[in-house]
Structure 1
Amino acid sequence: MNFLDALIFIDTNIFLDFYRIRNDVSVSYLESIDKHHDRIITGSQIEMEYKKNRQKVILDSIDSIKTPNWNALTPPAILTDAQPVKVIQKKKEEINQQQKILKQRIIDILKNPASNDIVYKTLQRLFKNDSPYNLNRENKRRFTIRNLARKRFVLGYPPRKKDDNSIGDAVNWEWIIQCAIDSGKHIILVTRDTDYGLKYSNELFLNDWLLQEFKQRVSTRRKIILTDRLSVAFKMISLAVTKEMEEEEEKLIVSDQEENVL
């Protein structure tokens, strides 16, 4: 496999999905991010979007854990002293106790993420790093990028969501373009939204205008690749990716596709 000398833009939805995959796999992704700040395009816009939605995503994930229907397990009175019934009652007490522990852990994560949320802690380090590809609030170029974003938003340029009243996507795109120009590197966009293009037959296609704009403003020889898998992006730039990381990400994507069909 030919590796790319590329920067990776990781969209907010990818960061939020770390709350929806197995913890050990999530940690593997986070460790790679932690070690390669200088390969990632980010900024205060991504930070704001992540922190705006973090709590809701956590609660949505917890809501998917349902308490068993104990009434359906209530035996006839004649069997109340049977050994299986006693086992069920014991398991019920154990499950209720574990749910209380789980609830307290969620409260701790929501109340003090800087101490209890590994995703939050890792991304904080990314958002605070002084990489030249981080458009944080200390970066004076943010004013130029915002002005360009307002212009493209008024003109109706992509990327933008339907009925969108925010220039957030435009800010991210203008910063991606600037990072491509400054670095001389290829670009890999990792997102599971349709802001930047469409997916057909398991293949992603960058929006026609965005591709043309990238070639005109950056270089006709420079590549820009759209993917919905962080594992694919990591492999493209020669970062370690385990089979478990790929499989867990695939499960997440398939689950989302099934929900959209329903």
Structure 2
Amino acid sequence: MTRKKKDEMDALLFIDTNILLDFYRDRKSDVSMKFLEQIEACRDRLILGSQVEMEYKKNRQHVILESLGKFGAPDWGKLSAPALVSETQAAGMIDKHRKELVKQQKILTEKIQAILERPATQDEVYKVLQRVFKHKSPYNLDREDKRRFAVRRLARKRFSLGYPPRKKGETSYGDAINWEWLIQCSIDSGKDVVIVTRDTDFGVIYKNKSYLNDWLAQEFKQRVSRKRKLKLTASLSEGLKIVHAKVTKEMEAAERAMLSEIWAQLRTRDDVEPEQDIL
């Protein structure tokens, strides 16, 4: 019998909502679909629940509109040729392409409207995640699962006591629900757990590494098992590879590029430490 390596994990995977919403941010569509295919392929190892589904559907439209901030018509005023050269071939080509660009922009606008209005048929990301959310497994705490009442009671208690995971100024206990369900899944399955998130309520990120919150690390050992492992990562690629999903070099490179842009934007926020680095 082959001896299990020290750093190997027999794990379940929890993917935080902010990671799922990344599929609407700057990411190549073909690479996005490869990630989604792998998420669906390992659905039997996913820790899911109606809480994550609600958060995704609550924020999806807003993230789509945010990602459209860079999408708009060119400043045609600056592309209008001076009268001196208005009859030249180059000026004519600019006018011709202008009409084509306006036409194509209209087509894209209509497609975006369809995605917002009819996600079940028009949004490829939504369609895949909908199948994942509806998948029946012992680790999916959907609205038909009566265990959700016990999980909610525990979540309310930890939230009222100020236990992590909890953001500053948080008024809802969604993260607490996810944590309590994660604990229960590890207890029931006897498996390790990988959390994929960029939220600092689960820990901190410093110099290319995620560090689990001290209290959460201690609590996991006390409530689950000292032998059980809990890993925190900001990389979906890393999380998928741990549960034996097929992740290509192209997928990893695309994720690094996207995270680089996201982190550049986060550096300007007051609640993010400047020395943190998720790349």
State the TM bucket, normalised to the shorter chain.
over 0.9
1:173 equivalenced with 2:164 (yes/no) = no
Q: Structure 2: which 5+ residue stretches go unaligned?
A: 269-279
Aligned to 1:246: 252
Aligned pairs, number: 262
**Residue identity opposite 2:133 in structure 1:** F
Q: Does the alignment pair 1:146 with 2:173? A: no
Partner of 2:220: 214
Q: Match for residue 48 of structure 1? A: 54
For normalisation by structure 1, the TM-score amounts to 0.97
The amino acid that maps onto 2:62 is K
1:5 aligns with 2:21: no
Name the TM-score, length of structure 2 as normaliser.
0.91
Indicate whether 1:196 and 2:184 are aligned: no
Q: Is the 8 A contact 1:22 1:248 kept in 2?
A: yes
User: Is the contact between residue 3 and residue 237 of structure 1 (CA under 8 Å) also seen in structure 2?
Assistant: no
**1:29 shift after superposition:** 0.9
Instruction: Choose the corresponding residue for 2:230, options 224, 230, 244.
Output: 224
Q: Which amino acid aligns with 1:105?
A: K
1:15 to 2, 13, 20: 20
1:88 is the counterpart of 2:77: no
Equivalent runs, 1:106-117 vs 2, <5 Å: 106-117=112-123
Q: What are the ranges of 5 or more consecutive residues in structure 1 without an aligned counterpart? A: none
> Which SS does the other structure have where 2:9 is aligned?
coil
Deviation for aligned residue 1:113: 0.5
RMSD (Å) for aligned C-alpha atoms: 1.2
1:182 counterpart = 2:227: no
The 2-side partners of 1:116 and 1:3 are apart by 40
What is the CA-CA distance between 1:11 and the residue it aligns to? 0.3
Whole-Å separation in 1 of the counterparts to 2:234 and 2:208: 10
Q: 2:81 aligns with which of 71, 75, 94?
A: 75
1:13 and 1:148 mapped to 2: Cα distance? 23
1:66 CA drift (Å): 3.0
Q: Residue in 1 aligned with 2:126?
A: 120
SS at match of 1:160: coil
Q: Which runs of 4+ in 1 moved over 6 A?
A: none
Residue 62 of structure 1 aligns to which amino acid in structure 2? L
Please state how far the C-alpha of 1:45 moved relative to its aligned partner.
0.2
Give the conservation status (yes or no) of the 8 Å contact 2:41–2:245: no
Distance of 2:232 and 2:73 partners within structure 1? 40
> 1:237 & 1:49 partners in 2: Cα distance?
24
The percentage of aligned residue pairs carrying the same residue is 55
